[in-house]
Chain A
Amino acid sequence: MKKSRLLALGLSAALAVSLLAGCSNTTEQSSGFNLNLCFASEPETMDPTLNRTVDGNVMMNHLFEGLYKYVDSDPSGDGRNGATAVLVPGQAAEEPAVTENADGTYTYTFTLRDDIYWSDGEPVTANDFVYSWQRLVDPETASPYNTIIAMVVNANEIINGEKDKSELGVKAVDDKTFEVQLTYNCSYFLDICAFPNTMPLREDVVEGNSTWSQDPSTYVCNGPYKMASWTHDAEIVMAQNEKYYNVEELGPDTLTFKLMDDANAQLTAFNNGDLDYMQNPPPDETASLLVAGTLLPGDYLGTYYVCFNNQKAPFDDVNVRRAFSLAIDRNYIVQQVTQSGEVPAGGWVPSNVVDAQGTDGDDFRTVGGDYIDVNDYEANCELARQLLAEAGYPNGEGFPEVTYLYNTDERHGAIAEALQSMWKEVLGVQVRLDNQDWNVFLETRSKGEYSMCRNGWIADYNDPVSFLDMFMTDNGNNDAHYSNSEYDAIMTEVLSDSDAEGRMALMHQAEDLLMEQDCAIAPLYYYSNPYMISDNVHGMYYSPLGAFIFSYCTQP
C-alpha cells in the first residue's frame, strides 16, 4: 500500500510539474500585426526546388522571390473581386531583353536589381539563379517539377540523364546579369520565372546540408518574409525580411501559417477569430457560407472531368463517349452537388486562360466558344439517346456493365452518384460505382485499368498548352489514353512555335479535335478556389493559379 501511495504521489507530482511547465511556456508575442492563415497541414517540403503543392507555393511566394513576382492590379478589390494578381519584374530590374539566335533559339537576358539581398545580408547574384535552375533539372535532385523549365536549352536531355547539368542553357554573365537560352520563344516563360521551383537558392546554404530547409536558422531566403519559427504540425511563423528591398511597404509584421487538417476545426477557429484566412470549409457548410457571402468562390484555372478510357470498349466508340457526356446535367452538378461556386464546363480549357491578346483581350474559352450548350439540357439528352442508339444500344439495351471509378472522398462520391443517376435516367444504362484510396486510384487510373473515372487538372501557368499537351499520345498525364496523330502533330508544332497568334490558332484546332471530333473526355465544371477571409483584412490578392499574397495586407 505504501508503494502504491508513493507511486500515486510521484505521478501526481509529475502531472503538476508538467502542467505548470505548460503554463509557464508562453509563446513569444509579436508586438505588431499578425495574420493567422490556414492552407493545409504540414507542408511536404519547404525546399522550393522540391515543392509540388499549392500550399507550399503560397508559403514560398512569401519567402522567396523569383525573376518575376505578382502584384495587385486592382488594390481596391481586397482580393474579393477575383484574381487580380499580375506579373511584374521581381528580382529582375526590368523586363528581359529577348534576342533570336541564328540556330532558332532565343536568349532572355535579365538584369538583376542592385538592391536585392538574402535574409543573411549576402547579395543575390545571377549565380544563385544558375545554381537553382541547374539543381532543378539534376536527376539526383529528383524534383517532381523539373519539367517546368523544359523549354530551356538542354533541360530535357539533362533530366533524361543524357547531358550534365552544367550544359543547361543558363549563364551568369556577371553578378547582375542572368541569361537563359530557350529552344523557342515560349510565351508563358515569364510565368515560369515567378514559379517557386525557379526561385534562386544559395549554393553554400544548400550543398552539404540536406536539412537546410527544415530549420529556420539555416533557411536563407530572399523574399519579403523570412522563416522565424517552424513548430512541426502546428505552425510556421514568418517575420518581415529586413533585407528585402520593399520592406517598408510590407503590411503584417508576421504571417503565421497554421498547419491544420480538420475542416471543422478550421471553420470553428475562423468563426472565433483564431484564423484570418482559410480554404475549403467542410462540404456540408459550403453552400450556406457561399450564400451568406462568407465564402468567396475564387478564380482558379482548372477543370474537373469524366475521363473515358478511349482504348477500351465500349468507350472506344466516339458516339458512346459523346452520349455519356451530353447526358450530364452540369448545372445540376454545380448548383446541387458541389455548391462551391464552380462554373459548368462547356469546353476543356477553362475560362480566364489567356488567348493571343494576353490578359487584356478575350480569354481562350471566349475566343474558342463552347462545345456543349450547358443550358439546353433537354436537347443534349435527346441527342445523347440518339447517339447511343447509333452506337448499337437503343435505350441502353445490350450496353455492357461499366464502372465509374473515383478516389474515396465525400464530394467525389456525391458527384459519382449524381452521374450514375443521370446516365440511368437519360440513357437507360446502369453504371456501377467504385472507389479506391487516393494512392491506389492514381495507379489504377494511370495504368488505364478502368472504363470511366473522375479526373481533374489544375494549370501550372496561364497558357492553354498547360491543358492541351497532356493529351498527346505519349504524355504521362494522358490518363484517357487518347491517341490522335493529327492532335499530336499540332501540339508538337505548338510546343516549338514562337508566334503567339499562330500557336493559339493551333491550340484551338487541337481542342476542336479533342472535344468536337473525338469527345475524348467529358468536362463537368471549371474549378473554383473557395476561401474565407476575415472582414478586417484588406489588401490580399491572388492569381488564378492559386498564389495568394498577404505581404501587403492591412488592418483598420
Chain B
Amino acid sequence: MAKYVIKRVIMALITILVVACVTFLLMMSVPGSPFNDEKITAQQMAQMDAKYGLDKPLLVQMANYMKGALHGDLGVSLKMQKDRPVLEIIAEKFPLSAKIGVIALIWAVVVGVPLGCLAAYNRGKWIDSLLRIISTLGISMPGFVVATFLLILFCNEDAPFSFLGIKTIFDESQGVRAYFMPCFALGLYPMCYIARLSRSSMLDALGQDYIKTARAKGLATPKIIFKHALRNGVIPVITYLGPLTAFTLCGGFVVETVFTIPGLGRYFVQSVQNRDYFLIMGTTIFLATLVIVMNLVVDILYKVVDPRIDLAKGD
C-alpha cells in the first residue's frame, strides 16, 4: 500500500506540473487582458504589463511563474483583488466554501444513498417511480433556479417560511439558518445523482447469487441491504464522490453568487472572465491538486469497502 501511495504521489506532482503549464499557455492564448477597460490607453496598458512582468516573452513568463510557484508564491491578483497574494485569497476563501461543501456532501450522501436503496428494493412500485421523478427533477433543475426558488420560499416579505428569519445576504452569525439555503442548493444535484447511482448499482447487487443465498438463509431485509448489498452497491457512489468532493469543497459559482457567500467558487469563473491570470493559475492548480488527492482517497477507500480489491494489481 505504501509503495502504491508513493507512486501515486509522484504521478500527482507530474500531473499538476502538466496542468499548470497547459493552463498557462491556454490562458495566455486567449484574447484580452486583465487591464482592459473602455478608457485605458495603450501606454497605460504597457505600463501595467511591465509592472507585473507581462511584457516579457511567454516562455520567460511561464518559467518565472513556475519558479515562484515552486517557492510557494502563486503571484498576486491582477484585477479582482488587485495586488493581493493569490495564496492569501485561496487560504481565506477556501474554508467557508469547504464548510458549505462538506455539509452539502453529507446531506447528499446521507439522503441519496438510502433513497437509492429504497427505490431499488421497491423496484417498479409507486415509491420507485416517485423517487425517480424526484431525482430526475433535481438533476434537471439548474442551480440558479433552485437558489432563486429558495429565496422566494424563505426570504421574500410574503414568503411562506419568512418567519424563520433567514436573511437574503449570507450572514454567518445566523448559524444553521445561514447555511440552510446554500447547503441545500449545493447538495441537491449530487443527492439526486447519488440516489440514481445507488439505485442502479443496488439493483445489480440485489440480483447477485450471494444476496439470494442471504434471503434463503432468512436474514432480515435491512441486514441484507445495508450489510451485504450496499458494500458492492456503494462502489460507483464512491467513484463519483472523489472528484465531486473536490469540486464541491471549492464552492459553487451560482450558489455563492446568489446567496452572496464570500467563498472561493466565484473565483474559478470570474478570474477567467477578468483574465486575472495569476488567480486563474492559483485556483486551477489548487483544484487540480484537490481532485488528485480525492481520487487517491477514493482508491484507498475501495480497499476499505471491499478488501478483495488489490490496489497494486489494479494499478
A, B bound: yes
Q: Compute how far the CA of A234 lies from the CA of B178 in the bound complex, rounded to whole angstroms.
A: 14
**Is B262 touching A18 in the complex (CB atoms < 8 A)?**
no
**Is B79 touching A269 in the complex (CB atoms < 8 A)?**
no
| Interface check A268, CB cutoff 8 A | yes
Q: Which of A234, A274, A444 has the most CB of B within 10 A?
A: A234
**Is A437 touching B32 in the complex (CB atoms < 8 A)?**
yes
The B145-183 residues at the A interface (CB cut-off 8 A) are 148, 151, 155-157, 167-176, 178-179
**Is A23 touching B257 in the complex (CB atoms < 8 A)?**
no
Q: Tell me, rounded to whole Å, the shortest Cβ–Cβ distance linking A60 to chain B.
A: 14
| Interface check A22, CB cutoff 8 A | yes
The A229-287 residues at the B interface (CB cut-off 8 A) are 231-234, 258-262, 264-265, 268-269, 271-272, 274-275
Q: Which residues of A contact B300 (CB under 8 A)?
A: none
Known A-B contacts A214-B81, A233-B93; A438 and B172 likewise in contact (beta carbons under 8 Å) = no
| Interface check A139, CB cutoff 8 A | yes
| Interface check B33, CB cutoff 8 A | yes
**Is B175 touching A3 in the complex (CB atoms < 8 A)?**
no
Q: Tell me, rounded to whole Å, the shortest Cβ–Cβ distance linking B107 to chain A.
A: 10
B interface bracket (residues with beta carbon within 8 Å of A):
35 or more
B44-52, B135-143, B201-209, B213-221 - interface stretch = B44-52
Chain A interfacial residues counted at CB < 8 A: 60
Q: Is chain B's interface secondary structure helix, strand, loop, or mixed overall?
A: loop
Q: Which residues of A contact B257 (CB under 8 A)?
A: 261-262, 265
**Is B260 touching A260 in the complex (CB atoms < 8 A)?**
yes
Q: Which of A27, A439, A442 has the most CB of B within 10 A?
A: A439
Known A-B contacts A144-B48, A443-B36; A265 and B42 likewise in contact (beta carbons under 8 Å) = no
Nearest residue (CB) in B for A442 is B36
**Is A15 touching B36 in the complex (CB atoms < 8 A)?**
no
**Is A22 touching B172 in the complex (CB atoms < 8 A)?**
yes
Q: Compute how far the CA of A275 lies from the CA of B168 in the bound complex, rounded to whole angstroms.
A: 10
The interface of chain A, by Cβ under 8 A from chain B, is: 1, 3, 11, 14-15, 18-20, 22-23, 25-27, 42, 44-45, 47, 50, 52, 139-140, 142-144, 146-147, 159-160, 210-211, 214, 231-234, 258-262, 264-265, 268-269, 271-272, 274-275, 437-440, 442-444, 456-457, 460, 476-477
The interface of chain B, by Cβ under 8 A from chain A, is: 30-33, 35-44, 47-48, 50-51, 79-84, 89, 92-93, 99, 102-103, 106, 148, 151, 155-157, 167-176, 178-179, 227, 257-263, 266, 273-275, 304
Q: Can you list 30 residue pairs at the A/B interface with Cβ under 8 Å?
A: A14-B102, A18-B102, A18-B103, A19-B175, A42-B80, A42-B81, A45-B82, A47-B82, A52-B40, A139-B50, A140-B51, A142-B44, A144-B39, A160-B43, A210-B83, A214-B83, A232-B81, A232-B93, A233-B261, A260-B169, A260-B260, A262-B260, A265-B169, A274-B167, A437-B32, A439-B32, A440-B32, A443-B31, A443-B33, A476-B41
